[in-house]
């Protein structure tokens, strides 16, 4: 099930690179994002899936709005023999990579069944230590508080950067 969605996501990503029309490229890019949502749900991470589905929807809306305002011209690019060679090479690499990935990961224990000693120290006393019923929130705001502070700071810096770069006209003197 996970593998099918992963293959679909890779196909969507490749199509969005090769699409002639910008709008269809964006829609194909949406396959990647919403496929990731299903992946998170299968891997039992509802917190991440919630964030991913909202962010993906908003980015898709903004990108479609931007593309509808642009010229959206098709490029008359012909496929050179070099391009074909690159694509064939990528596919061979991809198939080999998937083969060895399967072979290596089949040795490991199943995802989520075996606990590390490190994670046991968080999972067992987690609810008692933090008082939070949702362990994820308990980890990100209590055990890993500095991480969250850093993430919030990164977001703040990103907004400052966008405001600085996007402001084409200077601020008026009042």
Partner 1 sequence: MKGMTIIVKKVSEILCGVIFLYGIYIVLHGHLTPGGGFAGGVIIAGAFILLIIANGSEKVSLKRKETGTSFTESGAILAFLAVAASGMVVGTVGLFFKNYLPKGHIGRLLSAGFIPVYNIVVGIEVSAALITVFLAFVIFREEVLK
51 near partner 1, judged by CB under 8 A:
yes
84 near partner 1, judged by CB under 8 A:
no
Contact assessment for residue 35 and residue 9, using Cβ atoms and an 8 Å cutoff: yes
Q: Which residue has the tokens 């209590």?
A: 142
Q: In this chain, which of 3, 65, 108, 110 binds partner 1, going by CB under 8 A? A: 65
Burial of 37 (0-12, 13-18, 19+ CB in 10 A): buried
Least separation in angstroms between residue 145's CB and partner 1 is 4
Token pair recorded at residue 122: 């968080």
CA 95, CA 72: separation in Å to the nearest integer? 34
Contact assessment for residue 90 and residue 17, using Cβ atoms and an 8 Å cutoff: no
Contacts (CB under 8 A) with partner 1, residues 31-50:
46-47, 50
# chain residues binding partner 1, by CB under 8 A = 41
> Which stretches of the chain bind partner 1, using CB under 8 A?
46-47, 50-51, 54-55, 57-58, 61-62, 65, 127-128, 130-134, 136-138, 140-142, 145-146, 148-149, 151-153, 155-156, 158-159, 162-163, 166-169
């Amino acid at each position: 099930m996970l593998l099918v969605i992963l293959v679909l996501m890779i196909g969507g990503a490749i199509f969005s690179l090769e699409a002639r029309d910008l709008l269809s490229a964006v829609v194909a890019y949406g396959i990647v994002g919403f496929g990731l949502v299903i992946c998170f749900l299968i891997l039992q991470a509802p917190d991440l899936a919630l964030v991913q589905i909202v962010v993906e929807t908003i980015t898709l809306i903004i990108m479609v709005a931007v593309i509808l305002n642009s010229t959206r011209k098709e490029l008359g690019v012909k496929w050179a023999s070099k391009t074909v060679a690159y694509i064939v090479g990528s596919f061979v690499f991809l198939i080999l990579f998937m083969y060895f990935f399967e072979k290596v990961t089949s040795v490991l224990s199943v995802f989520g069944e075996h606990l590390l000693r490190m994670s046991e120290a968080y999972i067992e006393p987690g609810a008692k230590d933090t008082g939070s019923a949702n362990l994820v929130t308990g980890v990100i705001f209590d055990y890993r508080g500095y991480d969250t502070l850093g993430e919030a700071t990164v977001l703040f810096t990103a907004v400052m950067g966008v405001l600085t770069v996007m402001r084409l006209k200077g601020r008026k003197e009042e």
